[in-house]
Amino acid sequence: MVLFQPSRGSATGTVQSQPGGSRSSGYEAVRASRDFWTIRRRFGSFILPVCGLFLFWYFLFVIIAVFAPGFMRISVFGDVNVGLCFGALQFVSTFAISLSYRRWAQRRLDPLSDRLRHRLEGGRY
């Protein structure tokens, strides 16, 4: 699956506005603009690795629980074992990813997408 390949000529800077151009060519102009290229690059450099990471982390947990239950039973302190800690860490990582993504998106994605949307809606593409 090819995700967010930077399109050819995408780094050539903001494309000239096309007054009177059709809606679809406006979209293509936006898609070729530097701001949009930046959004796609940021999307690809944060969201995709985080997706890969949490899926790997979750399936690691499942595979160990299924095929190495003995490891999960090792005591950490008293009746609390590795499995319970590992499970608790899944909760912690899920909470942490949700908050860090929200924070990251507000800082790194929203200003760019706002700017592009205003330009496109204002007919500047």
Partner 1 sequence: MTGLAATGSLASATVGTPALNFIIFAFFVVVTLVIAVSAAGKNRSATDYYAGGRDFTGWQNGIAIGGDYLSAASFLGIAGIIALSGYDGFLYSIGFLVGWLLVLLLVSEPLRNTGRFTMADVVDLRLRAVPVRAAAAVSTLTVSLFYLLAQMAGAGALVSLLLGVSSSAGQDVVVAVVGLLMIFYVMVGGMKGTTWVQIVKATILAAGAAVTTIWVLSRAGFSLPSLLHHAAASSPAHNAVLGPGLEYGVNITTKFDFISLAIALVLGTAGLPHVLMRLYTVPNAREARRSVVWTIWLVGLFYLCTLVLGFGAMWLVGGTQIKAAPGGGDSAVPLLAYQLGGTLLLGIVAAVAFATILAVVAGLTITASACFAHDVYAGVLRRGEADPDEEVRVARITAVVIGIVAVIGGIYAKGIDVAFLVGLAFAVAASANLPSILYSLFWPRFTARGALWSIYGGLISSVGLIIFSPVVSGQKTAVGSVGTSLITNPHIDFAFFPLNNPGIVSIPLAFFLGWLGTVTDPRPADPVRFARMQVRALTGVGAERGGRS
Q: Which residues here bind partner 1, judged by CB under 8 A?
A: 1-5, 23-25, 27-28, 30-31, 36, 39-40, 43, 47, 50-51, 54-55, 58-59, 61-63, 65-67, 69, 72-73, 77-81, 83-84, 87, 90-91, 94-95, 97-99, 101-102, 105, 109-110, 113, 116-117, 120-121
Main-chain phi, psi angles of 80, to 5 degrees:
-80, 120
Least CB distance from residue 62 to partner 1, whole Å?
A: 4
Least CB distance from residue 99 to partner 1, whole Å?
A: 7
How much of the chain is helix, strand and coil, in % rounded to 5? 75, 5, 25
Least CB distance from residue 94 to partner 1, whole Å?
A: 6
Cβ-based nearer residue to partner 1, 14 or 90: 90
Cβ-based nearer residue to partner 1, 13 or 59: 59
Q: Is 36 exposed, middle or buried (CB count within 10 Å of its CB: 0-12, 13-18, 19+)?
A: buried
Locus of tokens 């985080």: 50
Cβ-based nearer residue to partner 1, 20 or 79: 79
Give residues with Cβ within 8 angstroms of 72, minimum separation 6.
64, 65, 81, 82, 83, 86
Cβ-based nearer residue to partner 1, 14 or 50: 50
DSSP state of 22: -
